[in-house]
Amino acid sequence: MKNARHNIFSLGIKLIALIGIILAVLIVRDNYGGWQSGMQKVFPFNIIIKQRDWVSQGAADFHINHTQPSFTDIAALVEKNTPMSDNAIQGYMIYYYSVLERFPDSDQANSMLGYLYFWKGDFKEAERYYKKAVQLAPAVFWHHYNLGIIYFSEGRAEEATASFNKALRANGQLTVEQASKSVIYSQIARAMDNKSYNLVQSVESGYKSTGRFLSYLKKNTPVAEIKPLLKPQLF
């Protein structure tokens, strides 16, 4: 009788251990679905989850830091409107996709992808990423401005007018402060020839351009007449 109880107890311990191992494996593989919220509160699984996330984030940071492209080409585009090759655009897109995967709430990473898709000629994807940037940081001037550029380029006058008006109501000071502290934008700025690039003057110029675009829209100016002016801007 004692042996039977001992065997049952031993089997129970083994089953509990097996369940624990299975749960630990599922957690490490991030494949535990609806149990996630519950497991995050239970020791030792909460420790395993934190450790897994820490390792995952560290790996993502390592990948981002060691796959940085040269920012010379995109700096030349920002500063001098020097065209980029398709290969260069694709290389930057791969990099900013990895940044966005690590920082999904980065309005700047979304803005970068919108910018690159514009120059790739894919306005649909450019619009999608600029809309996300607007959603994440609605007070930033350039996000509304660039979305207006997309709409105007496609002849969508009402949407362009709405975006440009939102740009005029955006926070210019916050826009400058964000750009000045941005790791994403500073990577590009360091590769520019003009080391004294003035963020304040850039935003002030952007506000003036917005007013001109609204005037063009009010006059029903054909897109073809001002197409060379319809270019997005990062900062």
pTM for the full model? Answer: 0.72
Task: Kindly list the domain boundaries of the chain, sorted by start residue.
Answer: 2-54, 67-229
Cis bond before residue 44 (omega within 30° of 0): yes
Taking the C-alpha atoms of residue 213 and residue 189, their distance in angstroms, rounded to an integer, is 27
CATH 1.25.40.10: does it fit domain 67-229?
yes
Taking the C-alpha atoms of residue 22 and residue 222, their distance in angstroms, rounded to an integer, is 64
Measure the CA angle with vertex 104, ends 146 and 77; round to 5°: 35
pLDDT digits (tens, 9 = 90+) for 165-191: 999 999 999 999 999 999 999 999 888
CB atoms within 10 A of CB 159: 16
Over residues 149-157, mean pLDDT:
98
Over residues 123-150, mean pLDDT:
98
pLDDT digits (tens, 9 = 90+) for 29-83: 555 555 555 556 655 655 544 454 444 444 444 445 556 788 999 998 888 888 8
pLDDT at 195: 72
